[in-house]
Amino acid sequence: MKSSKMKLMNKPITKSRFTKKIIAFCLVITLSIGAMAQGFSIKGKIVDESSKEALMYVNCVLFNQKDSLKQIKGTASDTNGVFVLNDVKKENFNLILSFIGYEKMVIPINSSMFKGKMLDLGEVKMNISGEGLGEIEIVAMKDRVKLDADKMTVNIDQTTAQSVTNAFELLKKTPGIAIDNEDNLKLNGKSGVLFQFAGRDMKLPWKSLVQILKATPATLIEKIEIMANPSSKYDAEGVAGIINLIFKQDKNDGMSLSVGTNAYYTKDFSYVGDLNFSQVSKKFTNTLSFSTSNWRQRMEQNLKREMGFGNDSIFIN
Protein backbone atom coordinates (compact mmCIF):
# COMPACT_ATOMS: atom_id res chain seq x y z
CA MET A 1 0.00 0.00 0.00
CA LYS A 2 2.81 2.39 0.75
CA SER A 3 4.43 1.66 -2.59
CA SER A 4 1.18 2.38 -4.40
CA LYS A 5 0.79 5.75 -2.67
CA MET A 6 4.31 6.75 -3.60
CA LYS A 7 3.63 6.06 -7.29
CA LEU A 8 0.50 8.17 -7.22
CA MET A 9 2.40 11.06 -5.69
CA ASN A 10 5.21 10.89 -8.24
CA LYS A 11 2.94 11.41 -11.26
CA PRO A 12 2.02 15.03 -10.57
CA ILE A 13 5.64 15.87 -9.79
CA THR A 14 6.84 14.40 -13.12
CA LYS A 15 4.13 16.29 -15.03
CA SER A 16 5.03 19.54 -13.27
CA ARG A 17 8.70 19.18 -14.23
CA PHE A 18 7.76 18.45 -17.84
CA THR A 19 5.57 21.57 -17.95
CA LYS A 20 8.36 23.72 -16.59
CA LYS A 21 10.73 22.43 -19.25
CA ILE A 22 8.23 23.27 -22.00
CA ILE A 23 7.77 26.81 -20.62
CA ALA A 24 11.53 27.32 -20.35
CA PHE A 25 12.04 26.06 -23.92
CA CYS A 26 9.34 28.40 -25.30
CA LEU A 27 10.87 31.30 -23.36
CA VAL A 28 14.31 30.65 -24.85
CA ILE A 29 12.86 30.50 -28.37
CA THR A 30 10.91 33.74 -27.85
CA LEU A 31 13.96 35.59 -26.53
CA SER A 32 16.07 34.28 -29.40
CA ILE A 33 13.55 35.46 -31.99
CA GLY A 34 13.29 38.86 -30.26
CA ALA A 35 17.06 39.22 -30.20
CA MET A 36 17.28 38.33 -33.90
CA ALA A 37 14.57 40.87 -34.76
CA GLN A 38 16.07 43.74 -32.76
CA GLY A 39 19.79 43.11 -33.18
CA PHE A 40 20.51 45.14 -36.33
CA SER A 41 22.34 48.44 -36.70
CA ILE A 42 22.62 51.10 -39.40
CA LYS A 43 25.64 53.36 -39.74
CA GLY A 44 27.18 55.80 -42.17
CA LYS A 45 29.36 58.88 -42.53
CA ILE A 46 27.86 62.17 -43.70
CA VAL A 47 30.02 64.55 -45.72
CA ASP A 48 29.59 67.71 -47.75
CA GLU A 49 29.11 66.95 -51.45
CA SER A 50 31.54 69.66 -52.60
CA SER A 51 34.21 69.93 -49.91
CA LYS A 52 34.03 66.28 -48.74
CA GLU A 53 34.29 67.55 -45.17
CA ALA A 54 32.48 65.66 -42.42
CA LEU A 55 29.16 67.15 -41.28
CA MET A 56 28.58 66.94 -37.55
CA TYR A 57 25.24 67.08 -35.71
CA VAL A 58 23.17 66.14 -38.75
CA ASN A 59 19.69 64.92 -37.73
CA CYS A 60 19.25 61.25 -38.67
CA VAL A 61 15.69 59.99 -38.17
CA LEU A 62 14.37 56.56 -39.13
CA PHE A 63 10.74 56.24 -40.25
CA ASN A 64 8.65 53.21 -41.18
CA GLN A 65 7.98 53.06 -44.94
CA LYS A 66 4.41 51.82 -44.45
CA ASP A 67 3.58 54.44 -41.84
CA SER A 68 5.38 57.74 -42.53
CA LEU A 69 4.12 59.14 -39.18
CA LYS A 70 5.82 56.41 -37.16
CA GLN A 71 9.27 57.50 -36.03
CA ILE A 72 11.39 54.49 -35.15
CA LYS A 73 14.68 55.95 -33.94
CA GLY A 74 16.70 59.13 -34.15
CA THR A 75 20.24 60.31 -33.56
CA ALA A 76 22.76 62.92 -34.69
CA SER A 77 26.12 62.50 -36.40
CA ASP A 78 29.20 62.95 -34.22
CA THR A 79 32.13 65.32 -34.74
CA ASN A 80 33.48 63.00 -37.46
CA GLY A 81 30.16 62.90 -39.31
CA VAL A 82 29.47 59.31 -38.25
CA PHE A 83 26.03 58.17 -37.10
CA VAL A 84 24.87 54.81 -35.73
CA LEU A 85 21.31 53.60 -35.19
CA ASN A 86 21.28 50.51 -32.97
CA ASP A 87 18.64 47.89 -32.14
CA VAL A 88 16.51 48.19 -35.28
CA LYS A 89 14.38 45.50 -36.86
CA LYS A 90 14.99 43.99 -40.27
CA GLU A 91 12.25 45.97 -41.99
CA ASN A 92 11.74 48.63 -44.66
CA PHE A 93 12.60 52.17 -43.53
CA ASN A 94 13.13 55.70 -44.78
CA LEU A 95 16.19 57.38 -43.30
CA ILE A 96 15.73 61.17 -43.33
CA LEU A 97 18.79 63.40 -42.95
CA SER A 98 18.38 67.13 -42.28
CA PHE A 99 20.78 69.92 -41.41
CA ILE A 100 20.65 73.71 -41.46
CA GLY A 101 21.68 75.05 -44.86
CA TYR A 102 21.50 71.67 -46.60
CA GLU A 103 18.83 69.96 -48.66
CA LYS A 104 16.83 67.32 -46.82
CA MET A 105 17.82 63.82 -47.88
CA VAL A 106 15.66 60.68 -47.88
CA ILE A 107 17.40 57.30 -48.12
CA PRO A 108 15.13 54.23 -48.66
CA ILE A 109 16.33 51.20 -46.71
CA ASN A 110 14.89 47.79 -47.62
CA SER A 111 15.09 44.67 -45.49
CA SER A 112 17.02 42.90 -48.27
CA MET A 113 19.92 45.33 -47.72
CA PHE A 114 20.69 43.75 -44.32
CA LYS A 115 23.36 41.15 -45.08
CA GLY A 116 24.64 40.98 -41.53
CA LYS A 117 24.04 42.60 -38.17
CA MET A 118 25.44 45.93 -39.39
CA LEU A 119 24.18 47.80 -42.46
CA ASP A 120 26.94 50.20 -43.52
CA LEU A 121 25.70 52.93 -45.86
CA GLY A 122 29.25 54.17 -46.37
CA GLU A 123 29.78 57.81 -47.25
CA VAL A 124 26.56 59.80 -47.55
CA LYS A 125 26.90 63.09 -49.43
CA MET A 126 24.61 66.05 -48.69
CA ASN A 127 24.13 69.01 -50.99
CA ILE A 128 24.04 72.63 -49.86
CA SER A 129 20.63 74.22 -50.26
CA GLY A 130 20.59 76.24 -53.47
CA GLU A 131 18.30 79.00 -52.19
CA GLY A 132 20.38 82.14 -52.62
CA LEU A 133 23.64 80.66 -51.38
CA GLY A 134 26.88 82.05 -52.71
CA GLU A 135 30.55 81.56 -51.91
CA ILE A 136 30.34 83.80 -48.83
CA GLU A 137 27.40 81.81 -47.50
CA ILE A 138 29.24 78.50 -48.00
CA VAL A 139 32.26 79.72 -46.04
CA ALA A 140 30.11 81.16 -43.24
CA MET A 141 28.26 77.85 -42.90
CA LYS A 142 31.23 76.38 -41.01
CA ASP A 143 30.60 78.83 -38.16
CA ARG A 144 26.91 78.02 -37.77
CA VAL A 145 27.50 75.34 -35.14
CA LYS A 146 29.75 76.05 -32.15
CA LEU A 147 30.57 73.29 -29.68
CA ASP A 148 31.42 74.11 -26.07
CA ALA A 149 32.01 71.84 -23.08
CA ASP A 150 28.48 72.23 -21.73
CA LYS A 151 26.39 73.17 -24.77
CA MET A 152 26.08 73.42 -28.52
CA THR A 153 25.18 76.76 -30.10
CA VAL A 154 23.51 77.03 -33.49
CA ASN A 155 23.73 80.52 -35.00
CA ILE A 156 20.77 81.46 -37.19
CA ASP A 157 21.59 83.60 -40.21
CA GLN A 158 19.14 85.51 -42.36
CA THR A 159 19.04 82.92 -45.15
CA THR A 160 18.21 80.08 -42.75
CA ALA A 161 15.57 82.11 -40.93
CA GLN A 162 13.84 83.05 -44.18
CA SER A 163 13.78 79.42 -45.38
CA VAL A 164 11.13 78.55 -42.75
CA THR A 165 7.91 80.18 -41.62
CA ASN A 166 8.28 80.15 -37.83
CA ALA A 167 10.44 79.14 -34.87
CA PHE A 168 8.88 75.68 -34.63
CA GLU A 169 9.84 74.87 -38.22
CA LEU A 170 13.32 76.20 -37.48
CA LEU A 171 13.73 73.63 -34.69
CA LYS A 172 13.14 70.84 -37.21
CA LYS A 173 16.38 71.87 -38.93
CA THR A 174 18.36 72.17 -35.73
CA PRO A 175 21.01 69.47 -35.09
CA GLY A 176 20.02 66.84 -32.55
CA ILE A 177 16.31 67.76 -32.57
CA ALA A 178 13.76 65.42 -34.12
CA ILE A 179 10.08 66.36 -34.49
CA ASP A 180 7.53 63.91 -35.89
CA ASN A 181 4.36 64.70 -37.83
CA GLU A 182 2.37 64.88 -34.59
CA ASP A 183 4.62 67.69 -33.24
CA ASN A 184 6.30 65.44 -30.67
CA LEU A 185 9.88 66.58 -29.99
CA LYS A 186 12.92 64.57 -28.96
CA LEU A 187 16.47 65.72 -28.26
CA ASN A 188 19.05 63.09 -29.19
CA GLY A 189 16.30 60.49 -29.09
CA LYS A 190 15.01 61.51 -25.63
CA SER A 191 11.77 63.25 -24.65
CA GLY A 192 11.21 65.48 -21.61
CA VAL A 193 12.98 68.58 -22.95
CA LEU A 194 12.83 71.89 -21.09
CA PHE A 195 12.54 75.08 -23.17
CA GLN A 196 14.05 78.39 -22.19
CA PHE A 197 13.56 81.86 -23.66
CA ALA A 198 16.73 83.90 -23.13
CA GLY A 199 17.65 81.65 -20.18
CA ARG A 200 14.21 81.71 -18.51
CA ASP A 201 12.48 78.39 -17.94
CA MET A 202 9.22 78.06 -19.90
CA LYS A 203 7.29 75.55 -17.81
CA LEU A 204 4.21 75.43 -20.00
CA PRO A 205 2.16 72.55 -21.40
CA TRP A 206 3.75 71.28 -24.59
CA LYS A 207 0.75 72.16 -26.77
CA SER A 208 0.80 75.75 -25.51
CA LEU A 209 4.52 76.00 -26.16
CA VAL A 210 4.04 74.69 -29.70
CA GLN A 211 1.50 77.44 -30.36
CA ILE A 212 3.95 80.08 -29.12
CA LEU A 213 6.75 78.72 -31.31
CA LYS A 214 4.50 78.54 -34.36
CA ALA A 215 3.44 82.14 -33.78
CA THR A 216 7.04 83.38 -33.43
CA PRO A 217 8.78 84.38 -36.69
CA ALA A 218 12.11 82.63 -37.22
CA THR A 219 13.71 85.95 -38.10
CA LEU A 220 13.45 87.02 -34.43
CA ILE A 221 15.80 84.25 -33.29
CA GLU A 222 19.54 84.93 -33.17
CA LYS A 223 20.74 81.54 -31.97
CA ILE A 224 19.66 78.28 -30.35
CA GLU A 225 21.58 76.78 -27.44
CA ILE A 226 21.26 73.05 -26.79
CA MET A 227 22.34 71.45 -23.52
CA ALA A 228 22.10 67.67 -23.79
CA ASN A 229 23.38 67.18 -20.21
CA PRO A 230 21.76 69.80 -17.96
CA SER A 231 23.05 70.58 -14.48
CA SER A 232 22.11 68.51 -11.43
CA LYS A 233 19.44 71.00 -10.32
CA TYR A 234 17.17 69.62 -13.05
CA ASP A 235 17.60 65.96 -12.03
CA ALA A 236 14.51 65.95 -9.80
CA GLU A 237 12.37 67.20 -12.69
CA GLY A 238 13.58 64.49 -15.05
CA VAL A 239 14.79 66.96 -17.67
CA ALA A 240 16.52 65.12 -20.54
CA GLY A 241 17.88 68.30 -22.10
CA ILE A 242 17.44 72.06 -22.46
CA ILE A 243 16.74 74.11 -25.59
CA ASN A 244 17.37 77.83 -25.07
CA LEU A 245 16.14 80.32 -27.69
CA ILE A 246 18.11 83.57 -27.82
CA PHE A 247 16.27 86.44 -29.51
CA LYS A 248 17.84 89.30 -31.43
CA GLN A 249 18.56 92.33 -29.29
CA ASP A 250 17.04 94.73 -31.77
CA LYS A 251 13.77 92.86 -31.65
CA ASN A 252 13.03 93.12 -27.95
CA ASP A 253 9.37 93.89 -28.46
CA GLY A 254 9.03 90.56 -30.31
CA MET A 255 5.33 90.95 -31.11
CA SER A 256 3.72 88.64 -33.64
CA LEU A 257 0.21 87.86 -34.74
CA SER A 258 -1.03 84.91 -36.75
CA VAL A 259 -4.53 84.20 -38.01
CA GLY A 260 -5.79 80.97 -39.52
CA THR A 261 -9.21 80.34 -41.03
CA ASN A 262 -10.99 77.61 -42.94
CA ALA A 263 -14.50 77.88 -44.35
CA TYR A 264 -16.76 75.36 -46.08
CA TYR A 265 -20.14 75.64 -47.69
CA THR A 266 -22.39 72.89 -48.99
CA LYS A 267 -25.96 73.50 -47.90
CA ASP A 268 -24.78 75.03 -44.63
CA PHE A 269 -21.92 77.38 -43.81
CA SER A 270 -19.15 76.00 -41.58
CA TYR A 271 -15.94 77.65 -40.40
CA VAL A 272 -12.90 77.07 -38.19
CA GLY A 273 -10.66 79.92 -37.06
CA ASP A 274 -7.78 80.64 -34.69
CA LEU A 275 -5.93 83.73 -33.53
CA ASN A 276 -2.49 83.65 -31.87
CA PHE A 277 -0.64 86.62 -30.36
CA SER A 278 2.76 86.51 -28.68
CA GLN A 279 5.17 89.07 -27.24
CA VAL A 280 8.73 88.31 -26.19
CA SER A 281 10.94 90.79 -24.34
CA LYS A 282 13.90 90.62 -21.99
CA LYS A 283 11.68 90.50 -18.92
CA PHE A 284 8.39 88.99 -20.02
CA THR A 285 6.89 86.51 -22.44
CA ASN A 286 3.16 86.90 -23.12
CA THR A 287 0.94 84.79 -25.30
CA LEU A 288 -2.75 84.84 -26.15
CA SER A 289 -4.59 82.24 -28.20
CA PHE A 290 -8.20 82.14 -29.33
CA SER A 291 -10.00 79.61 -31.48
CA THR A 292 -13.59 79.16 -32.60
CA SER A 293 -15.50 76.81 -34.84
CA ASN A 294 -19.01 76.35 -36.19
CA TRP A 295 -19.32 73.06 -37.99
CA ARG A 296 -22.58 71.95 -39.55
CA GLN A 297 -23.36 68.90 -41.57
CA ARG A 298 -26.64 67.87 -43.13
CA MET A 299 -27.41 64.34 -44.20
CA GLU A 300 -30.28 63.13 -46.37
CA GLN A 301 -31.21 59.50 -46.74
CA ASN A 302 -33.79 57.83 -48.95
CA LEU A 303 -34.83 54.35 -47.97
CA LYS A 304 -36.78 51.99 -50.19
CA ARG A 305 -37.93 48.59 -49.07
CA GLU A 306 -39.84 45.96 -50.98
CA MET A 307 -41.80 43.40 -49.03
CA GLY A 308 -43.59 40.60 -50.81
CA PHE A 309 -46.48 38.49 -49.56
CA GLY A 310 -47.53 35.90 -52.06
CA ASN A 311 -48.53 37.72 -55.25
CA ASP A 312 -48.86 41.12 -53.53
CA SER A 313 -46.07 43.63 -52.93
CA ILE A 314 -45.86 46.55 -50.53
CA PHE A 315 -43.47 49.47 -51.24
CA ILE A 316 -42.28 51.76 -48.46
CA ASN A 317 -40.45 55.05 -49.26
3-state helix, strand, coil in the chain (%, to 5): 25, 40, 35
Domain 144-317 has CATH 3.30.9.30: no
Report pLDDT digits (tens) over 211-234: 999 988 888 899 999 988 888 877
Q: Name the superfamily (CATH) of residues 39-140.
A: Immunoglobulins (2.60.40.10)
Q: Is the pLDDT at 72 greater than 70, yes or no?
A: yes
Residues 46, 87: Cα–Cα separation, whole Å: 21
Question: Residue 225's pLDDT is what?
Answer: 93
Name which of 60-69, 120-129, 219-228, 239-248 the model is least confident about: 60-69
Is-contact 177 100, C-beta < 8 A?
Answer: no
**pLDDT, the chain, mean:** 75
- DSSP code for 127: P
Give the tens place of pLDDT for each residue, 277-289: 666 665 666 666 6
Say whether pLDDT at 293 is over 80.
no
Q: Where are the domains of the chain?
A: 39-140, 144-317
Question: What distance, in Å, lies between the first and last C-alpha atoms of the chain?
Answer: 84
Sign of CA dihedral 76, 210, 223, 131: positive
Strands 105-109 and 93-98: antiparallel
- Interstrand relation of 269-280 and 152-155 (parallel, antiparallel or unpaired): unpaired
Residue 60 makes CB contacts below 8 A (sequence gap 6+) with: 46, 74, 75, 76, 77, 83, 85, 95, 96, 97
